[in-house]
Amino acid sequence: MCTLVIARRVFPGIDLAVAANRDERYDRPARGPVVLDARGPLVGGVDLTAGGTWFAAGARLMGGITNRTDAPHDHARPSRGRLLLETLQRPSLEEALTFARAAAVRVNPHVLWLDDGVRSVALTFDGRSLHERELGEGIHVVASRDVDDDGDARAREARTALEALAARPPDGAKQLALALEELLRSHAEPGALCRHFDGRGTRSASVIVQPERGTPLWHWAEGAPCSSPFVPVNSFVLPR
Residue 40 · residue 191 · CB < 8 Å: no
CA-to-CA separations, 209 to 107, 179, 193, in angstroms, rounded:
30, 11, 19
* pTM of the predicted model as reported, rounded to 2 decimal places: 0.95
* Mutual angle of helices 80-88 and 93-103, in 10-degree steps: 150
Per-residue pLDDT of the chain (240 residues; tens, 9 = 90+): 689 999 999 999 999 999 999 999 999 999 989 999 988 889 999 999 999 999 999 989 999 999 998 888 888 899 999 999 999 999 999 999 999 999 999 999 999 999 999 999 999 999 999 999 999 999 999 998 899 998 889 999 999 999 999 999 999 999 999 999 999 999 999 999 999 999 999 999 999 999 999 889 999 999 999 999 999 997 556 665
Structural domains of the chain in order of their starting residue, each with its CATH number: 3-232 (3.60.60.10)
DSSP lists the bridge partners of residue 96 as none
| Cα 207 from Cα 29, distance rounded (Å) | 22
Using CA atoms, how far apart are residues 23 and 83, in angstroms rounded to an integer? Answer: 18
Q: Give the end-to-end CA distance of the chain in Å, rounded to a whole number.
A: 24
Helical H segments across the chain, by residue range? 80-88, 93-103, 153-167, 173-184
